[in-house]
Structure 1
Amino acid sequence: MSGPEYRLVSVNTAPERAKRLIGRVIEDVKDQYTIVHVANAERIEDVKSTVEREKPNVLFTASMWTPEQAKEIVDIAKGVVPDLKTFSIPQGLQVEKGPDAVVEYIKENLPGLLDS
């Protein structure tokens, strides 16, 4: 375990699923990154207060959001924490390809996000 600790907030209407999927990612990358899933916001309206409360340095938007909604979520979050690293899972990925595809997609993109 090395490097900084990343505080992650997810934005997902299914908090249990978010917790499960992100838990799998955290477990799989724990030799490279220390990631703590500090909170999940279930609604766009909850993003600002969640980010203000948790002060994350990483935010994921889930695949149920449209690109427009994901952009709105990111804009709200960056309004609170300007240098926040954000990652939007493509709309429909979970529905079309299942949770394993989401976990793999996050893991493929995580180094580029966190090491930037």
Structure 2
Amino acid sequence: MSSSPGPYKLVTVNTAPDRAKRLIGRVVEDVKDKYTIIHVGNAASIEEVKSVVEEHRPNILFTASMWTPEEAHQIITIAKGVVGEDLKTFSLPQGLQVNKGPDTVVEYIEENLPSLLG
């Protein structure tokens, strides 16, 4: 039996924390045979990013699809300013949730995890 990498501590940046928790819960369940990911917190605004990242010291940060590329870049810059350049980050394309729905978001994250987590 091979051990899965991790555990990875994940912080999401999503204005809908319950939705973030539900979607990430699905991803965590689907990939648990490969990765151990713990969703430790969510920042519901750009202003909350610094304090949430300082509190949880995540290995991974996801920005949700409601953020523009500029906002996602700002969020990532703030987070890396706290925990350093080793932070793995992933930004969902703007509008993905609205245009394609939650199943597509889950699939998109799962498709991109191997390259993100190496």
Give the TM-score normalised by the residue count of structure 2.
0.96
Q: 2:107 aligns with which of 100, 104, 109?
A: 104
Tell whether 2:92 aligns with 1:89. yes
**Separation in 1 of the partners of 2:6 and 2:91?**
22
Identity %: 73
- Matched residue pairs, number? 115
**Aligned positions of 1:47-58 closer than 5 A:** 47-58=49-60
Quote the offset at 1:2 in angstroms: 1.9
Task: Give secondary structure in 1 for the equivalent of 2:108.
Answer: helix
**Separation in 2 of the partners of 1:4 and 1:70?**
24
**Coordinate RMSD, CA, aligned:** 0.7
Q: 1:69 aligns with which of 64, 67, 71?
A: 71
Where structure 2 has 5 or more consecutive residues not aligned to the other structure, the ranges are none
Quote the offset at 1:4 in angstroms: 1.9
Q: 1:73-100: CA deviations, max 9, x gaps?
A: 0000000111100000000000000000
Partner of 2:15: 13
Q: 1:46-95: CA deviations, max 9, x gaps?
A: 00010011000000000000000000000000001111000000000000
Partner of 1:24: 26
**Separation in 2 of the partners of 1:108 and 1:50?**
26
Counterpart of 1:31 in structure 2: which amino acid?
Answer: D
**Separation in 1 of the partners of 2:4 and 2:114?**
14
Give the TM-score normalised by the residue count of structure 1.
0.97
Task: Give secondary structure in 1 for the equivalent of 2:40.
Answer: strand
